[in-house]
Amino acid sequence: MNRLVVRLSVAFATLILLVTGILAIAIDRLADSSFRRYLAQNQIAESGLSERLAIWYAQHGSWDGAERLLSVGGMGGGYGQGGAQRPLLALADATGRVVADPHAIVGESLNATQRRAALPILVDQQVVGYLVVQAAGNRLSRAAELFLQRLRDIIWITGGIVALTGAVIGIAIARQLVQPLQHVALAVDELRQGHLTARAVVEGPIEVRRVAEAFNAMATELAAANQQRRQMIADIAHELRTPLTVIQGNLRAILDDVYPLSREEVGKIYEATVGLRRLVDDLRELSLADTGQLTLHRQPLDLNQLLAREAALFRELATVQGVALHVTLASEIPPVIADGERIAQVVRNLLSNALRYTPAGGQIMVTSTAHEQGVLVSVIDTGSGIEPTDIPHIFERFYRSDHGRSRAKGGSGLGLAIAERLIALHGGQIGVESEVGKGSRFWFWLPAA
């Protein structure tokens, strides 16, 4: 009983049997009453009472005194034969007002249903009255009893066939409804066992199709996340291997007296540990940003002052590399609510990238402008540019394109990923526009305070 298909089948079967039973009982009672009324009306028709009532009205012009025709004697011979009881009668005029009702079977006037069931009395093709006939008691003739019993048997046999057919159809429908869910359940089991390629068949009702589509989307995202996790672990291992190899090689050479134990050799080892520490710090910071645990000290911030300060720190390095660094700031920009140190970190990342990939004789421009109820900051370089196929992945962690962004030029491969997370935590946006051979424009937007 815990299986959905069993529960649905039982529910469908029970509902169909219940509805069929109620309908069979209702039809049985309706057939009984209709058949009895038919017999009674047929007896009245055979007795000639309707004709005599029509003659009475034609002769007298009214129903005064017509109630005596409703007596047994007025109905003529043959009525009540075969063991059947005499029916109960009532007479109403053309408007439905009751003029004779010796057995009190109707009220003061006939309603629409009673008029339709009554025998109309016609004079010159016009309705002048209604004869209400009601079967008296439960006693019928033997032939009528046999006919009525056969009719009831047919009703119940037909009801049983309909119920059985409906139950079978209901079970088939239940199986058809449950089958798509079973396919989803099988796909879930496969996914739980580690088969990340498992997908559910999209079929069945709209609701079930949505469940299957949602599962498939989740499975695709999970597979992508798993692939990203594996790639990240491989990248981390690679990034850690390089400085560790340098440290290990230099120490081995010193121990083997290949290199002397000098300040120069110790300095190389120290530089390798600094790079290793920077990578670990970047990974920790990115992890905190991903989990929402990175603390931001938000306060009103003048971006122009921050950009001018950070650009000044890079101007000497740019001069050494033969790169011109220009700063063009809008005279009036709205203040923003942000963590100044984190935004400065983003600017430093963008400037470092621009200097790293801009050759001597190139230019870097830092700009700010008010834009869409916020501030838009751009770092524009005349470097080698980025391939169009690499742009959608440029903010992914450890991602490096094959054109001009190799490990030989330094960096942990996490700077842009960290910048993207920091801007997102401030409710802003970050992006890049680039053309190979002409340079790149990295920009970010922060909402105004």
Classify 296-447 by CATH class.
alpha beta
All structural domains of the chain with their residue ranges: 206-288, 296-447
Q: Is residue 196 classed exposed, middle or buried when 0-12, 13-18 and 19+ CB atoms within 10 A define those classes?
A: middle
DSSP assigned state of 109: B
Query: Partners of 448 in the beta sheet?
Result: 336
Condensed to tens digits (0 to 9), the pLDDT of residues 126-152 reads 998 988 877 665 566 677 778 878 888
pLDDT tens for 152-203 read 888 888 888 888 888 888 888 877 777 887 888 888 888 888 888 888 888 8
CA 320 from centre of chain: 59
pLDDT at 270: 84
pLDDT by residue, tens only, the chain of 449 residues: 557 667 777 787 788 888 888 888 888 888 877 777 777 677 777 778 888 888 888 888 888 888 888 764 444 433 344 445 667 788 888 888 888 877 776 678 888 888 887 888 888 889 989 888 776 655 666 777 788 788 888 888 888 888 888 888 888 887 777 788 788 888 888 888 888 888 888 887 788 888 888 888 988 888 887 887 787 777 777 667 767 887 888 888 888 888 888 888 888 788 878 878 877 887 788 788 777 778 888 999 999 999 999 999 999 999 999 999 999 999 889 999 999 989 998 999 899 989 988 999 999 999 999 988 899 999 999 998 999 988 998 888 777 664 444 444 555 677 888 899 899 999 999 999 999 989 999 999 999 98
* Helix ranges, 77-127 (H): 112-117
CATH topology of domain 206-288: Helix Hairpins (1.10.287)
pTM of the model: 0.52
**Alpha carbon distance 201, 213 (integer Å):** 9
pLDDT at 76: 41
Residue 137: predicted pLDDT: 57
Q: Where are the alpha helices (DSSP H) in 256-300?
A: 263-290
Give the pair of three-digit tokens for residue 181: 């869910």
Residue pair 39/135 in contact by the 8 Å Cβ criterion: yes
How high is the pLDDT of residue 136?
A: 62
Q: How far is CA 89 from the centre of its chain?
A: 65
Nearest 10 degrees: Cα torsion 399, 403, 408, 412: -20
